[in-house]
Structure formats: C-alpha cells, structure tokens
C-alpha cells in the first residue's frame, strides 16, 4: 500500500479517536463504560475489518498487516482469528450497530436539539467505508464476499443515521444492495486466494506473522550524531524558542552532573523524566526523538532509541494483560526514551472497571526498577496532563520537569509551510506567499477548536499541491517551472474546499 494512502487512513482514524476523547472529556459521553470511548471505537473498527476480511474462517497475512497498521493494534493472525471466533463475526454481524457508533449518533442528536449540527456518526461511517475499500484493494485479488460484507455493513450504518434525521452525506453512495448467501461452501467466491509465499489461505499463523512491536527508533544516522550536532538540529527547528531554552538548560545541567560524577563529587537527586504539555502539532515527538539521541551522547542512556506508545499500546481490555503490554513497551525502550502520547487517557476512567490505572502502577514500578537506563516522557494537552499528574501521587513525584510547547504563530506556520515546499521541490509566487501569510495570520488570531499548528500547515500544503495538479492537467503543455510553482489560485481553491467542509460541519 502507498505510504501516503496509509498515512491518510491513520489520520482519519486519529481524527475519530480525538473526537471520542473530546466528547468523553468535555461532553461526558460514554460515561460508566468499562472501556474508554476511544478504546471502544478502536475495538469496533478492528472487529469490523476482521468481519469484512474473514470468510470460511480464513484471513490473509496482508489483511492482518493492514488491520494492525490502521488500528494501531499488534496482533498475530492467530490472535485475529481468536477475535473472529470469540466475537462470532459471522454473516449476521452486519446487523449489529456498534456501541461507539450509537454513542456518536446520540451526540449528533443532542447537538441537533441544541440548534447545532455535528457529523460525528457520518464521519465514522465514511471512515468505515474508506478502511474496508483500501483493505480490499490492497489484498487483491479480492472476492465478492468481502465486498458483500462491507456493503451490507455500511448500508446498515447509514440507515441508522438516516433514522435519526442527522445525515450529512451518505457513506453508502454507489454501493448496491447485496443478496447475502449464508453457509458458503469452501472454495466458492474467491476461496482459492492465497498469500504470496504462504500457501493456501488458512487461519493458522505463518512464519511471517510475527507480532509488530510499538517501537519507533530514530534513523541510524541520528544515533551516530554527536550531542553538538543534535543540539544544533534542535536549535534549527522553526519556532519553539521557549522549548529550546529549557532543553538547553537541561543539557547544561546534565553535562555538569557528568563532570561532577567523573571527579567523584556528590550528585543531587534528579528525575530525568519529563512532561511535555501543549496542543497537537507543536513538535513534541520531534523534540523527544532528538533528546533521546542527546541523552545517549551524554552517557545518560545506553542506546538512545525513542519508543512511542499510547493507551492502545499499554492498556488491554482483558484481565491480566495490561501489565504485560506495559512491560513489552518498557523492555523495548530500555536504554532510551519511552514517549507516551495523550498520557491523560490512562487515567480518564478512574473509578470504573478500567485497566488504565494498572498500566500506570506497572509503569511507575518499571521506572523505579530501571531508573539508571530508562527515561519516560508523558505528553498531551496542558490542562488534561495536569489532571493526569494529580490522579496519582507517584506520578507527581517522578515527573517534576515540565516543558510547555507553545502554539506556532503565523510567521512560523508560514515558514513551516515553506519548508514542506523546499523539501518536496516546490516554490511559491510572491502573490502566493503573501496570501499564505494573510491566511495563517487570520487563523492564529481566530483559532478554531480543531487548530493543529504544524499539522495545519502540512494539511494545507497537501491540499494546495492537489489543486496545483488539478490546474496543470488542463494545460496542453506543462513546463518544469509549471511543475514546481504553486500559485495563489491553488491556495484559493484549497481554502475554498476547506471552508466548505467547515461550513458543512458547523451547519
């Protein structure tokens, strides 16, 4: 699968997860449930994709990989088939409306009663369709059963939306009603499909089905860079002046500590664990990756890898499995940094039958056991991170260094946009550059709820080059200069489409 397609699907899933987080935190949605709203959405997307992919108790290795990549799960083929059997994902599963989907519909209905219009359920239905279509296309040659499974499922979701008169689009557009055929005989409707190099399609795991680990290591060249080179790279990042100052102070303190240690002088007790707080898209992961290399260069850590984790990586929905997941992440991070994004979700369901607290307790013990070669960074929204630290005295005592990531200003966002252009071989006309600056100035002055800092700049860049491509295909002759130049008209068209989407969401 093309990386850009996979990234788009992940981004769509992340958008749904963030909506679930927001509604649970701000609107008290999904209250009193064993799983968080986010976890329920993630689990039900997983079950849906397994339902679409499986027939006659079989699934392809490529489909298992796809499911893992878009859901953030780390399942072997055998584990996927356990879900298939345990949850009875048979041909009648399409009649079941997911609990999380019902809750999104409820939120849309409530908004409608209050004179607003949201489209949480419609967005989720669209994502369900996009995911299944991509999986089916990626696992070609496809079979009619998968198309039937997807079609019947999406049509029932859309009917449920239509029932409450909150439809904003139609996820089932273009899908033709299917006539379900139950109890198929093996070998029909594509039963001869097989994985390349893995023989016939079966429910058993093959040699290439090793479980994926939640580990993201820096490129090899980063691990070979000196502290000075990594610090220079940090200081060359656009904006983040306050972060650079605080990280610089931390580096200087650690250098002097190492010098005192080398001369046999006593060391003051110091926690190396950090809290990164701020809004999305402010560079927290980028700084954490550089810091891992810097710690390695200073001799604080032995390896310098960065391991990224979140609630789905650390918390299980089953008794006895959470501690194991946490320790798997810790083991992968030994010698480096364990970076936990949206860490506040671990304690979001305090007081319910939730395993998030078990994850925190296990993590705190591991931090103590491996305090000489493990650094943990927890990250997330500023106010929610404060609640997270207040939820457990052990957290507050171990995380006493806070680094706040401010939102980018208009000039910085313009420079970030231009950096994407430079990296990808594009240039801007003067008129385009001026219009871009005006747009970011207005956006920073009137920040919407979904303001995403550098992610906004990246998304706008992607939409703009799409409009540039749409413009150029109508040319009879395209020069090299045409290919690399982004004009104001491309930006205007991209912004028009963005505004139409926003108006539809707020209608």
Full DSSP string of 333-398: HTTSEEEETTGGGGGTTTTSS-SHHHHHHHHHHHHHHTTTS-EEEEEE-HHHHHHHHHT-HHHHHH
Assess whether pLDDT exceeds 90 at residue 103.
Answer: yes
Packed helices 454-472 and 410-423: angle between N→C axes, nearest 10 degrees: 50
Burial 276-315 (b: 16+ CB within 10 A, else e): bbbbbbbbbbebbbbbbbbbbbeebbebbbbbbbbbbbbb
- Give the rounded percent of residues in the chain with a pLDDT score beyond 90: 35
| Lookup result for tokens 């379900």 | 180
More reliable by pLDDT, 242 or 219:
242
Packed helices 3-26 and 37-53: angle between N→C axes, nearest 10 degrees: 140
Token pair, residue 317, equals: 């929905």
Per-residue pLDDT tens over the stretch 114-170:
888 999 999 999 999 999 999 988 876 556 778 888 888 999 899 989 888 888 888
In the chain, where does the domain assigned CATH 3.40.50.300 lie? 220-405
In the chain, where does the domain assigned CATH 1.10.8.60 lie? 410-506
Assess whether pLDDT exceeds 70 at residue 186.
Answer: no
Burial 92-127 (b: 16+ CB within 10 A, else e): ebbebbbebbebbbbbbeebeeeeeebbbbbbbbbb
CATH architecture of 220-405: 3-Layer(aba) Sandwich (3.40)
pLDDT at position 500 is: 76
Query: Phi and psi for 320 in degrees, rounded to 5?
Result: 85, -5
pLDDT at position 176 is: 67
Q: Which stretches within 27-98 are classed as H helix?
A: 37-53, 61-71, 77-86
pLDDT at position 190 is: 37
Query: What's CA 271's distance to the chain center, in Å?
Result: 29
What does the alpha-carbon distance between residue 450 and residue 119 come to, in Å, rounded to a whole number? 14
pLDDT at position 382 is: 86
pLDDT at position 109 is: 92
Q: How many angstroms separate the most distant Cα atoms in the chain?
A: 80
CATH architecture of 410-506: Orthogonal Bundle (1.10)
What does the alpha-carbon distance between residue 108 and residue 114 come to, in Å, rounded to a whole number? 10
What does the alpha-carbon distance between residue 363 and residue 348 come to, in Å, rounded to a whole number? 16
Arithmetic mean of pLDDT over the chain: 83
Tell me the sheet residues that pair with 485: 427
pTM of the complete model? 0.58
- Where is mean pLDDT largest: 23-27, 241-245, 298-302? 241-245
Assess whether pLDDT exceeds 80 at residue 338.
Answer: yes
Instruction: Determine the straight-line distance between the first and last CA of the chain, rounded to whole angstroms.
Output: 35
28 with 125: CB under 8 angstroms?
Answer: no
Burial of 217 (0-12, 13-18, 19+ CB in 10 A): middle
CA angle 87, 90, 94 (to 5 degrees): 95
């Amino acid at each position: 699968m093309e990386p850009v397609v996979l990234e788009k699907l992940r981004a769509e899933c992340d958008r749904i997860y963030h909506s679930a987080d927001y509604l649970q935190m701000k609107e008290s949605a999904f209250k009193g449930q064993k799983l968080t709203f986010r976890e329920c959405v993630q689990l039900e997307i997983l079950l849906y994709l397994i339902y679409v992919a499986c027939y006659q108790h079989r699934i392809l290795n490529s489909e298992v990989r796809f499911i893992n990549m878009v859901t953030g799960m780390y399942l072997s083929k055998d584990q996927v088939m356990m879900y298939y059997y345990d949850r009875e994902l048979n041909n009648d599963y399409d009649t079941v409306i997911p609990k999380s989907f019902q809750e999104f519909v409820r939120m849309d209905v409530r908004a409608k009663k209050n004179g607003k219009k949201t489209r949480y359920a419609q967005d989720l239905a669209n994502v369900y369709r996009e995911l299944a279509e991509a999986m089916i296309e990626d696992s070609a040659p496809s079979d009619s059963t998968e198309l039937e499974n997807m079609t019947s499922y999406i049509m029932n979701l859309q009917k449920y939306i239509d029932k409450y008169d909150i439809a904003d689009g139609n996820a089932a557009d273009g899908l033709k009603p299917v006539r379900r055929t139950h109890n198929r005989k093996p070998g029909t409707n594509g039963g001869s499909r097989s994985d390349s190099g893995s023989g016939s399609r079966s429910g058993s795991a093959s040699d290439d089905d090793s479980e994926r680990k939640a580990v993201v290591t820096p490129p090899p060249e980063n691990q070979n860079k000196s502290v000075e080179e990594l610090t220079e790279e940090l200081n060359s990042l656009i904006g983040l002046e306050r972060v650079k100052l605080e990280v610089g102070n931390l580096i200087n303190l650690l250098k002097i500590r190492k010098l005192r240690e080398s001369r046999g002088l006593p060391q003051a007790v110091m926690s190396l664990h950090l809290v990164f707080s701020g809004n999305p898209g402010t560079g927290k992961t980028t700084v954490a990756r550089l810091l891992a290399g810097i710690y390695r260069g200073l001799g604080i850590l032995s390896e310098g890898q960065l391991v990224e984790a979140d609630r789905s990586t650390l918390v299980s929905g089953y008794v006895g499995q959470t501690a194991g997941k946490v320790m798997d992440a810790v083991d992968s991070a030994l010698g480096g940094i364990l970076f936990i994004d949206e860490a506040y979700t671990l304690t979001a369901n305090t007081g319910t039958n939730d395993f998030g607290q078990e994850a925190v307790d296990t993590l705190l013990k591991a931090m103590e056991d491996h305090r000489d070669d493990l650094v943990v960074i927890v990250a997330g929204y500023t106010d929610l991170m404060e609640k997270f630290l207040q939820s457990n005295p052990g957290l507050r005592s171990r995380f006493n260094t806070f680094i706040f990531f401010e939102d980018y200003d208009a000039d910085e966002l313009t420079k970030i946009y231009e950096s994407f252009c430079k990296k990808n071989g594009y240039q801007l006309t003067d008129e385009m550059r001026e219009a871009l600056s005006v747009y970011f100035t207005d956006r920073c002055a009137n920040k919407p709820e979904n303001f995403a800092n550098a992610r906004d700049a990246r998304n706008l860049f992607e939409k703009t080059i799409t409009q540039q491509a749409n413009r150029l295909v109508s040319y009879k002759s395209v020069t090299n200069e045409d290919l690399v130049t982004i004009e104001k008209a491309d930006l205007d068209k991209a912004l028009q489409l963005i505004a139409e989407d926003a108006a539809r969401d707020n209608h």
